[in-house]
């Protein structure tokens, strides 16, 4: 193991050599069912041939020119995302944090344009928005803040899924926007009550605030719709994407509509790599594959079925406090810390995640077949029941 890497991750003692679909293989030839997808990135599985081909072909044609010039792939990908989301404009970048930085810059300038000297964004407790200074400041997790003060100013925090708490801020004239995840991912797969986003939309409209949705984890089909806001009849002003947009090729995007679309002008924001021909070729291939194979409706129906199976399996298990999910995003909350389950599952050839200490999080690939799905259920139920014994 290299000692020259910065000490930012406590890595598991496994090295993957290759992957295909829902399966990864380590350097000893042992195979693993991947129920985490590189943290909601490889939704279409590993080494998807259509995506690999698109990357390969584009890399042999043209990889990068900079945003000083026209980039047809970027325009094409923007058009696709606009058609799917009903947004109006796109800024491409390389990661989720950068997409949220873009959103936060839009919010600040939107406020400054109206003469608001302390533009403030409402953010949620238990949220996650990234690791750059502004996005970690927006994040609702004291552990992420620890050691990095002074934080970026201009955030006010309320509990997630609490409309009344947002309403009480209506007379605060510094507020310019709400930044929220439609489902909290890192925070433990918390799904708000139906109508939450609609209520936030109404409050934003009434107060002239921007509704900014962080769909970095929930976007691109993960919850059974292209974007999680499409479960409700609303459209946000700002939408951020990354993770699954490139199926492993780093790419992020910040989408805007209406007044949020006219805030940034040349000189306000930029990126060297963002939206280069290679990354956008991957993004286009991802959308093509998702559309051609009708994966998203199947994520909705298979996700429902899988959730029912997990609920049934743990119905009598008192150590399991809650089983929740939407599409292919699942959280199984236990009555005790369960971080060690990651290593237990790894030993048994299954890749899972534990978030917030006590919640098993699953973000399986959309390409998992029936046998693999059965294997996931059998192994996971067994691992959790053994652990709780």
Ligand X SMILES: *Cc1c(COP(=O)(O)O)cnc(C)c1O
| Interface with ligand X (CB under 6 A) | 95-97, 100, 128-130, 181, 185-186, 214, 216-217, 242-243
Minimum gap (Å) between residue 214 Cβ and ligand X: 5
Between residues 45 and 252, which has the closer beta carbon with respect to ligand X? Answer: 252
Q: Which is nearer to ligand X, 100 or 372 (CB)?
A: 100
Classify residue 246 by its DSSP letter.
G
| Distance (Å, whole) CA 183 – CA 296 | 17
CB of 136 to ligand X, least distance (A): 10
Tokens standing for residue 41: 């990135």
The SS3 assignment for 57 reads helix
Residue in the structure block whose two tokens are 């195979």: 31
Cis check for the bond before 150: say yes or no (omega within 30 of 0).
yes
CB of 180 to ligand X, least distance (A): 10
* Sequence-ordered list of residues with C-beta below 8 angstroms from that of 217, at least 6 positions apart, any chain: 39, 40, 181, 183, 185, 186, 243, 329, 363
Q: How far apart are the first and last CA of the chain?
A: 35
- A 10 A CB-CB count for 300 gives 18
Considering the complex, state which of residue 40 and residue 44 has its C-beta at the smaller distance from ligand X.
40
SS (H, E, C) 70-96: CCHHHHHHHHHHHHHHCCCEEEEECCH
CA distance 11 to 2: 11
Sign of CA dihedral 373, 184, 103, 142: negative
Between 108 and 243, CB nearer to ligand X: 243
How many C-beta atoms surround the C-beta of residue 349 within 10 A? Answer: 15
Q: Which CB sits closer to ligand X, 96 or 224?
A: 96
Which residue, 214 or 237, is less far from ligand X as judged by CB?
214
| Angstrom distance (rounded) from CA 199 to CA 217 | 22
The least CB distance from residue 177 to ligand X, in Å, is 16
CA 20 distance to own-chain centroid: 22
Beta bridge partners of 184: 190
Query: Rounded to the nearest whole angstrom, what is the least distance from the CB of residue 181 to ligand X in the complex?
Result: 5
In this structure, the strands spanning 238-241 and 252-256 are antiparallel
Pick between residue 72 and residue 357 the one whose CB is nearest to ligand X.
Answer: 357
> Which value, in Å, is the radius of gyration of the alpha carbons in the chain?
21
As measured in angstroms, the least distance from the Cβ of 213 to ligand X is 10
- Give 90 or 97: the residue with its C-beta nearer to ligand X: 97
Identify which of 133, 121, 102 has the alpha carbon closest to the alpha carbon of residue 252: 102
Q: Smaller CB distance to ligand X: residue 127 or 256?
A: 127
Closest approach of ligand X to the CB of residue 94, in Å: 8
Residue nearest ligand X by beta-carbon distance:
96
Q: How far is CA 138 from the centre of its chain?
A: 15
Min dist. Cβ of residue 371 to ligand X (A)? 29
Distance of closest approach, residue 128 Cβ to ligand X, in angstroms: 5
Q: In the complex, what is the shortest distance from the CB of residue 265 to ligand X, in angstroms, rounded to a whole number?
A: 25
Nearer to ligand X, 120 or 217 (CB): 217
Tokens describing residue 358: 């006590």
């Amino acid at each position: 193991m290299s000692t020259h890497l910065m000490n930012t991750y406590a890595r598991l003692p496994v090295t993957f050599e290759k992957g295909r679909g829902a399966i990864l293989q380590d350097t000893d030839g042992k195979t693993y069912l991947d129920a985490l997808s590189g943290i909601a990135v490889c939704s279409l599985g590993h080494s998807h041939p259509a995506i690999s081909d698109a990357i390969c072909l584009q890399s042999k044609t043209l990889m990068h020119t900079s945003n000083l010039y026209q980039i047809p792939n970027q325009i094409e990908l923007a058009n696709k995302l606009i058609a799917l989301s009903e947004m109006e404009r796109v800024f491409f970048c390389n990661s989720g944090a950068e997409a949220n930085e873009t959103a936060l810059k839009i919010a600040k300038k939107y406020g400054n344009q109206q003469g608001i000297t302390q533009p403030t964004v409402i953010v949620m407790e238990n949220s996650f928005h990234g690791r750059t200074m502004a996005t970690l400041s927006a994040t609702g997790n004291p552990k992420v803040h620890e050691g990095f003060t002074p934080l970026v100013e201009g955030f006010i925090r309320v509990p997630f899924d609490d409309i009344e708490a947002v309403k009480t801020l209506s007379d605060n004239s510094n507020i310019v926007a709400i930044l929220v995840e439609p489902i909290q991912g890192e925070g433990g797969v918390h799904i708000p009550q139906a109508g939450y986003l609609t209520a936030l939309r109404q409050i934003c409209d009434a107060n002239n605030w921007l509704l900014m949705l962080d769909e970095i984890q929930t976007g691109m089909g993960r919850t059974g719709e292209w974007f999680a806001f499409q479960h409700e009849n609303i459209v946000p002003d700002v939408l951020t994407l990354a993770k699954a947009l490139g199926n492993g090729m780093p790419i992020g995007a910040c989408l805007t509509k209406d007044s949020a679309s006219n805030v940034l002008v040349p000189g306000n924001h930029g990126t060297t790599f963002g939206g280069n021909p290679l990354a956008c070729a991957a993004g286009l291939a991802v959308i093509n594959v998702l559309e051609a194979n009708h994966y998203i409706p199947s994520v909705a129906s298979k996700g429902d079925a899988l959730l029912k199976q997990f609920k049934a399996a743990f119905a009598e298990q008192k150590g399991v406090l809650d089983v929740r999910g939407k599409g292919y995003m699942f959280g199984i909350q236990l009555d005790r810390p369960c971080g060690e389950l990651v290593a237990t599952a790894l030993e048994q050839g299954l890749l899972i995640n534990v978030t917030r200490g006590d919640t098993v999080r699953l973000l399986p690939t959309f390409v998992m077949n029936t046998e693999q799905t059965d294997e996931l259920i059998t192994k996971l139920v067994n691992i959790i029941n053994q652990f709780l014994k």
